[in-house]
Structure 1
Amino acid sequence: MSQLTIDSYEDFLAYVGQDLGASEYHKVTQDQINLFADATLDHQWIHTNPERAKVEGGFGGTIAHGYLTLSLVPYLWDQIVVVNNLKMMVNYGIENLRFANPVKVNDEIRMHASLANISDLRGTIKTEMKVKIEIKGEKKPALAATLIFLYHFI
């Protein structure tokens, strides 16, 4: 899978309203879920107790934290787009975030992104990315949102 390369504001402008591509699939494992639970101190049984989740959870096993799925955005984003000539990039916000479908243990997910809007705020570039994290074999995405990034080019 090839990454899109962006070197400037003008490069971004060329992609407004267009699909930017998709990442590779990433398998969400129980080890990853457990590490996230440790990092966030969220050890709810639906995430960390496979035996109980299988019997009581309604999903056939454990599910990933919604915020674990969201936290994979930078990893998946870097597979879609490479932005060069930066001083820095800042995560500015998330709009219309919906966790539409749980990610079950061992599900494979990938992200699709499109550039909805871009604006130049006196040299800082504000981008609005429409993203969906898909679950392999599922029609409904795990999540959908508009991510807002600020890019400071050199």
Structure 2
Amino acid sequence: MKEKVVDFIKRKREVLAHHQFEFKDWLSPTIRDYWVEFLNKANNSQLASWVKEHNLVSVANGNSVEVEKPEPIEMHPEAEKLMNSLVETLGEEIHVGQWLTVDQSRIDRFAEVTDDHQWIHTDPERAQTESPFKTTIAHGFLTLSLLSVLTDSVDPANQKFPTAKMTVNYGLNQVRFPYPVKSGTNVRARTKIQSVTPIKRGLEIVQEITVEIEGCRRPGCVAESVVRLYF
């Protein structure tokens, strides 16, 4: 049941971030009881910090305790303008990159950098006879590391967010590698904006990036990437 509470919070986090009211009003009586227990055990946890950050009303021992409201974020004009334009595209595909060839040379160089020399990546002859793919495949982390170039995020002549002074890779919410990228194949990235949230001095943007493999129905990577823009 506690897992249900966490799932519930994740589903509602964006709505709650923009609408301040008593969190308990979202909860059914059963979930509310577990929420109370959960808060009582999480006073010093990341969850408690998250509750305070989003100005939610906690419920403990049957009483509502209003959390102190955070200071309002004063948005930079360019940040507000960009946020408004991105919000209109939520869930839509906003970028399709150019094809990039993942050849054996690139795979070998990545193996040298990471010390990952598994034969499925670096031994074409053995892979031809023993691998179900009949060829070498790229490391999953190699595919992941290509997201910046595949999304044109490192092209100074074609910046995705030119009005931002600085773009920071803040991390990844989740990553999956549904199908291996075989040596010699072409890949490209397709990007959708999942959410845009104001932060101090900028914006936090969550993007769903799908790495398409040419001629293959299944993608080589699907990642939820988090970037922060500062103005």
TM-score by length of 1: 0.88
Post-superposition, which runs of at least 4 consecutive aligned residues in structure 1 deviate over 6 A?
Answer: none
Structure 2 residue 205 is matched with structure 1 residue 131: no
Contact 2:94-2:192 within 8 A present in 1 as well: yes
Q: For 1:81 and 1:59, locate their aligned partners in 2 and report how far apart those are by CA, in whole Å.
A: 37
Structure 2 unaligned spans of 5+: 1-78
Structure 1 unaligned spans of 5+: 1-5
Pick from 118, 131, 151 the counterpart of residue 229 of structure 2. Answer: 151
Instruction: Give per-residue Cα distances to partners, 1:7-34, cap 9 Å, x unaligned.
Output: 8444433322321121111110000000
Contact 2:208-2:224 within 8 A present in 1 as well: yes
Give SS of 1:83's match.
coil
Pick from 208, 219, 228 the counterpart of residue 141 of structure 1. Answer: 219
Aligned equivalent of 2:45:
none
When the two structures are aligned, how many residues end up with a matched partner? 148
Letter in 2 for 1:44: Q
Q: For 2:176 and 2:95, locate their aligned partners in 1 and report how far apart those are by CA, in whole Å.
A: 20
Contact 2:150-2:188 within 8 A present in 1 as well: yes
Structure with bigger strand share is 1
Contact 1:8-1:84 within 8 A present in 2 as well: no
Q: CA deviation at 1:81?
A: 5.9
Structure 2 residue 121 is matched with structure 1 residue 47: yes
Q: For 2:159 and 2:147, locate their aligned partners in 1 and report how far apart those are by CA, in whole Å.
A: 12
Aligned equivalent of 1:108:
186
Root-mean-square deviation (Å): 1.9
Give SS of 2:106's match.
helix
Instruction: Give me the identity figure in percent.
Output: 34
Larger Rg: 2
